[in-house]
Structure 1
């Protein structure tokens, strides 16, 4: 009982320390989205920018009064353009500019019409897009392309972020390798921006070298046993999230984020507690698969919200999933040597408890913010 009181006290104290820290973010939906509707001599861009990110980047108000909208219009015009291969910029007109709530938090919405300056139109154009990106390193913009009259769904063209704010858009359909690569990069960007997924994997692996006896962690596996346990856990998580990612996206099912997001945070909390004291010892594989299924719902929801071709093709969906796996494998490759070295040292126990307590505290914060008890 004393151990549980100690664990709860540590988690509560750390959580209270983290409550004011708005930078402790977990899984998020796409930051900005630009959908390009390609016509013969014009391109119409539907723009979605989170109002909170816009306000942070500019210091401007997210209001619909004349002065605020004038500032927003000038900001977008200065940070968005389309040019042909000669470098000549297309004419630009911004319409339907407003701050509105479509679903979730308030967004800055706009329609930008780009018109070719001459009669000839190149086979490819370059979009330059830097609203919010220049001021916010972890913000990114998803660029989609809808070729009018083609009957095709919107296609994922790529991602833009700080230091990479230009993308070439072919007027015809992109090749398979470009679509696959864009989907893979989307997976990488998503998992890198999803601290909750990374935190879950960290604490899941943290207890892999340990052996449970009488309801406590009381021993260590040998190196071979630790590596085997790590591989089994990572494989179980991969199987779980891959099944729900593919199943939900291809079936077209919709699941409310108000349920999925707190559930993901709860898996992080349970796993963090397990890293302190065993609560599902010798059932780690089953738990990794089940929790992977829950995290896969978050991945699927992200793909569905992009409204891109990545969710309608097994090949590009596989590219997105492979992008997720790339980051997971990279984390394991970096973490395992440190873990194997640390597990035989006296520091292992305090480091394990400290990391598990910190992750547990963040997960409590995510849970209460995602169910609306405090601002997220």
Structure 2
């Protein structure tokens, strides 16, 4: 109960989409050319770009703070080679690029190193002090060949080989990233908790919960549920990354929140035969769209993209099965108690429904700033 309460409290404080930035570093033979795309909404949070306070960032407001933007962004990146730091020098004028989730400032720069670089040290610290959920999506190397890395507040340093990186190493990295995604994304954690809570019980004809007598039956039902989610996740992740379909990011976030609400409410009162599994499959489809914008932004070759997709989805499945292995034995032992049925299942599902409803309201109101 204590662990569930702490989890839900922490989730309520994080019910926002993690912000991302996209950094590409290309070896130019003695120098590193960099392009860094940072969301204007994130920059507004730390620099106050919206001088008019009207909720809309104009191009004039961006130009007026161009020097501050460059200073802030480049001050959050340290590159080095052979123990010697590389000097970061801004070049070209600031530009605006559109990504699936809004407008981004494009900061172009050169990293001047003392000697030709074979292994590059990358220390990334953008936005971690204001948004611990921020992710830095970094590619190092030539276009379509760079090995993608994902930096976080807990993993912000890497030493990267500029040439000759193995594609299987990237696949292993994506397996880890898929597992981390399961453990850290708020919406995915809420889905897993909502799916796990009733796994050791079944509905009687009168709507009441009854104990599942066979542990293997409960395990099989739960594994089938998380696997169906992963299969749906893989389908839309591939389709969206390859550009076959591209739903508006606002719709995706809204639909994820609505599906979570339906799943939690079905735990409290059955909404009809099949509703639960429809919600699970829809959530899997929607989560695929949620991560696709990250993979699509890497510009990988077809072969590298295939390995990245396989690795990420394998990591998602492994991460979910870890949750199943940790939760199911304890829940099965407690399934007959009033504490589990009323406090853990009932109270936990009600808390998830409230959080999903709050998240849904945020999406409907469309809180945030626009860029004009």
Say what the alpha-carbon RMSD is for the aligned residues.
Answer: 3.2
1:310–1:320 Cα contact (<8 Å) kept: no
Task: Give, in whole Å, the separation in 1 of the partners of 2:163 and 2:97.
Answer: 33
Identify unmatched segments of 5+ residues in structure 1.
Answer: 1-17
Name the stretch that deviates more: 236-245 or 287-296: 287-296
Change (3 A) 1:40 1:357: same
Once the two structures are superposed, the pairs formed by residues 271-310 of structure 1 within 5 Å of their partners are 271-281=263-273, 284-285=276-277, 288-308=280-300
How many angstroms does 1:175 deviate by?
0.8
Name the stretch that deviates more: 308-317 or 341-350: 308-317
State which of 79, 88, 96 in structure 1 corresponds to 2:76: 79
Task: Give, in whole Å, the separation in 2 of the partners of 1:89 and 1:99.
Answer: 27
Q: Secondary structure at the match of 2:144?
A: coil
Deviation by residue 1:206-249 (Cα, 9 ceiling, x = unmatched)? 22222223452232211423223222222222222223323443
1:141 aligns with 2:136: yes
Q: Secondary structure at the match of 1:40?
A: coil
Identify unmatched segments of 5+ residues in structure 2.
Answer: 1-8, 51-60
1:181 aligns with 2:168: no
Deviation by residue 1:178-200 (Cα, 9 ceiling, x = unmatched)? 21123223323433442112211
Task: Give, in whole Å, the separation in 2 of the partners of 1:163 and 1:260.
Answer: 28
How many angstroms does 1:285 deviate by?
4.8
Partner of 1:3: none
Partner of 2:91: 95
State which of 141, 152, 156 in structure 2 corresponds to 1:161: 152
Task: Give, in whole Å, the separation in 1 of the partners of 2:348 and 2:303.
Answer: 35
How many angstroms does 1:27 deviate by?
4.6
Deviation by residue 1:88-114 (Cα, 9 ceiling, x = unmatched)? 222321235759573445544311211
Change (3 A) 1:313 1:80: closer
Change (3 A) 1:264 1:286: closer
Name the stretch that deviates more: 177-186 or 357-366: 177-186
Partner of 1:5: none
Once the two structures are superposed, the pairs formed by residues 81-230 of structure 1 within 5 Å of their partners are 81-85=78-82, 87-96=83-92, 98=94, 102-103=98-99, 104-105=101-102, 107-117=104-114, 120-134=115-129, 136-147=131-142, 152-153=143-144, 155-214=146-205, 216-224=207-215, 225-230=217-222
Partner of 1:9: none
Once the two structures are superposed, the pairs formed by residues 258-337 of structure 1 within 5 Å of their partners are 258-281=250-273, 284-285=276-277, 288-308=280-300, 313-337=305-329
Partner of 1:48: 37
How many angstroms does 1:168 deviate by?
2.0
Partner of 2:353: 360
Q: Secondary structure at the match of 1:347?
A: helix
How many angstroms does 1:161 deviate by?
2.1
1:368–1:374 Cα contact (<8 Å) kept: no
Deviation by residue 1:343-372 (Cα, 9 ceiling, x = unmatched)? 122111222121111111222222232244
Q: TM-score, normalised by structure 2?
A: 0.80
Task: Give, in whole Å, the separation in 2 of the partners of 1:230 and 1:127.
Answer: 41
Task: Give, in whole Å, the separation in 2 of the partners of 1:373 and 1:132.
Answer: 22
Once the two structures are superposed, the pairs formed by residues 329-348 of structure 1 within 5 Å of their partners are 329-348=321-340
Q: TM-score, normalised by structure 1?
A: 0.79
Deviation by residue 1:115-165 (Cα, 9 ceiling, x = unmatched)? 233xx4132221222122355432221111341xxxx52534312222432
Deviation by residue 1:54-113 (Cα, 9 ceiling, x = unmatched)? 465xx532364788444443333433232111x222232123575957344554431121
Q: Secondary structure at the match of 1:216?
A: coil
Task: Give, in whole Å, the separation in 2 of the partners of 1:373 and 1:165.
Answer: 31
Q: How many equivalent residue pairs?
A: 347
2:36–2:106 Cα contact (<8 Å) kept: yes
Q: Secondary structure at the match of 2:323?
A: helix
1:142–1:159 Cα contact (<8 Å) kept: yes
1:48–1:107 Cα contact (<8 Å) kept: yes
